[in-house]
Every structure is written in C-alpha cells, then in structure tokens.
Structure 1
Amino acid sequence: MRGTSQRSLDAVLDQVRPVLDAAGAETVALGEQLFAVLDAVDASSSLRRGLADPSRDAADKAGLVRGLLGERFDARVVDAVVALVTQRWTADADLATAVEALAVEATLTDAERREQLATVEDELFTITRSLIGSREARAALTEPGITPERRVGLLRAVLDGRGDAVTQALAERATLRPRGRRFVATLDWYGQIAATMRSRLIATVHSGTSLDAAQVARLESLLAQAYGRSIQLNLVHDPSLLAGLRIQVGDEVVDATVLTRLADARRRLAG
C-alpha cells in the first residue's frame, strides 16, 4: 500500500491507537470483530466498491457502515470502520487491506499490553523461517484441496503448543484466510506490523485543558525530534494541572520547556 492509501491508513491508526491502548484485555475481542468485518468486505465486491467509492458522500458511507454493523459490533469497532471508509483509497482492495491492518494491530496490542510484543514478533519470524526451510510443511498449509480444519490442525502440529496466544491466533488467521497471499508472506507482514509497533515510543501527556490539533501536531514533532523516533501520544485531561503539561515517556517525565531545548539541541547537532 502506498501514496494516498498509506496516508489514509496512517491517519486512521493515529485515531484508533489511543482507543486500543485504553481497551486493555478487550483488544483481542476488538481484533476478532475487525477480522469479521474484513471477511464481510472480502466476500462482497459490491460492498467493497461502495465503501471505497471516492465519489460517494462520506456521511452516506458512514451511515451504511453503522446500518450494517449496528448493535452487533462494539461501538469502537464501528467507529474505526467509519474512520476508514471516510478516507480516500487508491484502490478498493486497499480499504480491505487497511481493515486487516487494524485487526492485526488490535490483536498485537494485547501482546504489547502484556509486554510480550517482542516475543510475538520473534515467534512469527521463527515460524516463517521454519516454513521457508520445509517445502512439505509449507505446501500442506497452503494446498487448496485441504480443508480449513485440516490446515489448522497441521499448523497446531507445527507449533506443538508453543508460542504466545497472539502468535497462535495470527498464525491460524493466516492459515484460514490468506487473502490471495502465501501463508509465509502473510505471517511476514504481520511480523512487520509488530516490529513497527515496537519501534514507536508512547508518550502520555497530561494537560489541564484540551489540546487542539495544531498543538498535538507540534508536540508530536517536538517529541519525535527529541527522541529520534516516531511518537504515539496518549492524551489525558487532568483538571488538577492549572497550567502547562506533564509529559511521560516510559519512566521519564519531561518538562515541556526542557523538551523544546532538547529538540533544538538535537537539530543543532544534526546540522
């Protein structure tokens, strides 16, 4: 995914990530529901075209999503899908891939919450490497004549009870719904999403007043410059703060004034 579609996905991820972080153990269920939405979008080309149609009014598409998902899906899932369909997509298939990316990230967020994201990334990598070295196992997991139940059974035999629950869930998903990709390629992509998540820093920002979009963008830029990495902001309204901000990155509490000086110093060093 590139260009407009990638920018659209990035914009939605920025909205959805704080919701996932706040969901706790519920992220597993949210991921399952997003995968269910993906299956519905994949099963109907007319639905996919209608939701991705750039000439269709965004409010109309949002209404279609809310009407289809209704009360059967968690409101957070409905809001995430609405956010997706109101963006622009280079191709209809990109919208479906974006739903998949959200579902994978929601599932991986559970591992991140339990501080097992690095473990899951390593396990996904190990599975892909072992399958690359075994043509027989690879063929068994992808052979179209084998029933889905049989494929899952073969995968579980390969895993032999090892691995995090998130690793097993994503591997089974890749086995049952490859979406036109090879099993190894799908697992590799899931692993890349995990690696991207691990490379992000999370900054929790406490403020006495609500920050507008320009202030949030400025703060993200300052933090990214100061730490040399992409930053995810979790915003917390704290009425006890009469002025200023309280910013925590990991175990470090950063004063906004110090942050500005740190970013300026990094720019001077880079120049």
Structure 2
Amino acid sequence: MALQAASREALAGVELTLIGALEDSTTDDFGQQLFAVAGLLDREIGLRRALADPSTEPADRERLVRDLLGGKVSGDVLDVVAAAVAARWSSPRQLVDGIEDLATTAVLVRAERAGRLDAVEDELFRLGRIVAGDTRLDQVLSDRTAATEGKLSLVRELIGAKTDPLTAVLVENLVAQPRGRDLVGGLEALAAAAAKRRERSVAHVVSAGPLSAAQQESLAASLRRIYARPIALHVEVDPDLGGGLVIKVGDEVIDGSTRGRLDALRRRFS
C-alpha cells in the first residue's frame, strides 16, 4: 500500500489512537470490525467520498460516521474510525487503505500480546509459498468473478484448524477483499507487516535442503551483523538449487547456491 504524504501523516496520527484504544479494549474482534468498515467504504463510493471530503468540517464527517455506525460496531472501534475520517487523506481510496492498514495492525497487536506473532508471521509466509507453488489454487482464489463465500470456504478447508485464528482473519480478509492485490503478493506483504511489527527485516531464504534450528540461528546472527538490525528468516526448500543458499533481503540478493555459481560461471565464459 503506497500512501501519499498527507495520507501517511493521517495514518500515523490515527495509529496512535488505535494503539491507545487497544490498551484497554475488551473487543476480541477489533480488527475484524475495522476490516468490515473498510469493506463497507470500498463498496460504497458515495459514502467514502463524503467521509474523505476535505471541503467539509472534520466534526461533520465524524458526526456522519458515528450516526451511520453507532450500535453496529463497538464504541472503541467507532472512536478509531471517527479519528480516521476526521483526518485529512490524499484521496477517498486512501482512507479505505488506511482503515484496512489499521485493521491489520489491530490483528497483529493482538497476536503480539498473546505471544503468537511469530506463528502468525510464519503461517502467512508458508501459505504464500503454498499458493505460489499451486497455479490452479492461486487462480481460483484470485478469480474476481467467483463467489466470495465459495473462495472463503476453500480457504477454510485449506487451512482448517492448522493455523492460528488470527492468521485466518488476515487471510480471509485478503481473499474476500483483494482490492486489486494479487494473493501471493498480499500474503507476502502481511508476513512482512508481522515482521515489521517486531522491528525486524525479513530475509527470504531458499535452501537446497532443510536447515536445522542451529543453522537458522547462525544464519540470522550473520545477517544481523551484516545489516546491523534483527532479521527474520523465511526459509523455503528447493532441491533444484543443487546446494547452498539464496538469500533475499529487500532488493539485495545473495546467491550462494550451486546453481547460482554455475550460472555466474556460464555468464563469465559466454
């Protein structure tokens, strides 16, 4: 989600309201309610334009959303939405983007406080790899003409009780409300958001064979020294590499695989 300057400033301000609301909130489905609000505004063009109209007074926009959603979402969720519509966004569409980002943050904060953020991050990454490796599954879940409930049923069948319920919340929203995003990219972005929540960067590691826990700890320590910050490993096994590792951190790729070295030699002598 690439927000323009005004929207980034708006989101930063509303995030403070969100974190404050989450401190004492007893609303278990805080994130789900915010996702529902984002979905409503995504569908209702006129409404989102009215709520993001910079020519109207913030108090009027806040009053409108409180009249509309009062009694339909919890009071603490409504306070966050009211703060969002009172802020100044670059466009109505970015108001929706911002509320969805807040919903994701709410889910990740809940996972963090429950000590389950690591699991959610890992499950998002692994599910992304599963979908990326199954073209048919990706096509079915990304089909914009298919019934949403049918796609959600397939997702629930796929992940069942195997994943954390908070992982399921994030995945189901992505499938139900893709909003122009491809599924694999969306899952990777969610995994990255979970890693960022822990103030770490993500290293996508492709290995010719499984890495032991000790090997992963050693690799993470080496990358931490290289990049001077904590690094989360997302490890994928690809026997076709022949040996070694391929490591991608941001736009930087470290290719120490047998296949990579052979390719480099071919380029040198071609």
- TM-score of the aligned structures, taking structure 1 as reference length: 0.69
Provide the rounded CA distance (Å) in 2 between the counterparts of 1:172 and 1:70.
25
* Equivalent residue, structure 2, for 1:265: none
* Equivalent residue, structure 2, for 1:7: 9
* Equivalent residue, structure 2, for 1:107: 107
Per mean C-alpha deviation after superposition, the further-off stretch among 74-83 and 182-191 is 182-191
SS in 2 for 1:144: coil
Provide the rounded CA distance (Å) in 2 between the counterparts of 1:46 and 1:160.
37
State, as a whole percentage, how many aligned pairs show the same letter. 35
Matched AA of 1:8:
A
Provide the rounded CA distance (Å) in 1 between the counterparts of 2:5 and 2:64.
26
Per mean C-alpha deviation after superposition, the further-off stretch among 1-10 and 94-103 is 1-10
CA contact (8 A) 1:51 1:85 kept: yes
- Cα distance, 1:160 vs. partner? 4.7
Provide the rounded CA distance (Å) in 2 between the counterparts of 1:187 and 1:20.
24
* Equivalent residue, structure 1, for 2:33: 33
Provide the rounded CA distance (Å) in 1 between the counterparts of 2:101 and 2:144.
24
CA contact (8 A) 1:128 1:187 kept: yes
Change in 2 beyond 3 A, CA 1:145/1:67: closer
* Equivalent residue, structure 1, for 2:240: none
* Equivalent residue, structure 1, for 2:132: 132
CA contact (8 A) 1:30 1:106 kept: yes
- Cα distance, 1:56 vs. partner? 0.9
Provide the rounded CA distance (Å) in 1 between the counterparts of 2:161 and 2:73.
31
Alignment of 1:63-102 (within 5 A): 63-102=63-102
User: Which runs of 5 or more structure 2 residues have no equivalent in the other structure?
Assistant: 201-227, 230-270
SS in 2 for 1:71: coil
Provide the rounded CA distance (Å) in 2 between the counterparts of 1:194 and 1:22.
22
Change in 2 beyond 3 A, CA 1:21/1:184: farther
Matched AA of 2:50:
G
* Equivalent residue, structure 2, for 1:188: 188
Superposed CA deviations along residues 225-246 of structure 1, whole A, max 9, x for unmatched, are xxx99xxxxxxxxxxxxxxxxx
SS in 1 for 2:76: helix
- Cα distance, 1:186 vs. partner? 2.3
Provide the rounded CA distance (Å) in 1 between the counterparts of 2:71 and 2:161.
36
Per mean C-alpha deviation after superposition, the further-off stretch among 76-85 and 191-200 is 191-200
Matched AA of 2:174:
A
Alignment of 1:178-257 (within 5 A): 178-199=178-199
Provide the rounded CA distance (Å) in 1 between the counterparts of 2:17 and 2:153.
37
* Equivalent residue, structure 2, for 1:42: 42
CA contact (8 A) 1:85 1:95 kept: yes
CA contact (8 A) 1:5 1:88 kept: yes
Aligned-residue CA RMSD (Å): 2.0
Provide the rounded CA distance (Å) in 1 between the counterparts of 2:111 and 2:165.
9
CA contact (8 A) 2:18 2:106 kept: no
Number of aligned residue pairs: give it.
200
* Equivalent residue, structure 1, for 2:22: 20
CA contact (8 A) 1:124 1:188 kept: yes
Provide the rounded CA distance (Å) in 2 between the counterparts of 1:82 and 1:198.
28
* Equivalent residue, structure 1, for 2:149: 149
Provide the rounded CA distance (Å) in 2 between the counterparts of 1:81 and 1:71.
13
Provide the rounded CA distance (Å) in 2 between the counterparts of 1:9 and 1:104.
13
Matched, 1:167 2:167: yes
Per mean C-alpha deviation after superposition, the further-off stretch among 4-13 and 30-39 is 30-39
CA contact (8 A) 1:62 1:82 kept: yes
- Cα distance, 1:72 vs. partner? 2.4
CA contact (8 A) 1:140 1:154 kept: no
Superposed CA deviations along residues 23-67 of structure 1, whole A, max 9, x for unmatched, are 25x2x4221221221122111111111111111111111111111
Superposed CA deviations along residues 116-171 of structure 1, whole A, max 9, x for unmatched, are 01110111111112211221111121123432222123223332531111111211
Change in 2 beyond 3 A, CA 1:2/1:129: farther
Provide the rounded CA distance (Å) in 2 between the counterparts of 1:149 and 1:90.
32
- TM-score of the aligned structures, taking structure 2 as reference length: 0.69
Provide the rounded CA distance (Å) in 2 between the counterparts of 1:134 and 1:170.
20
Matched AA of 1:32:
Q
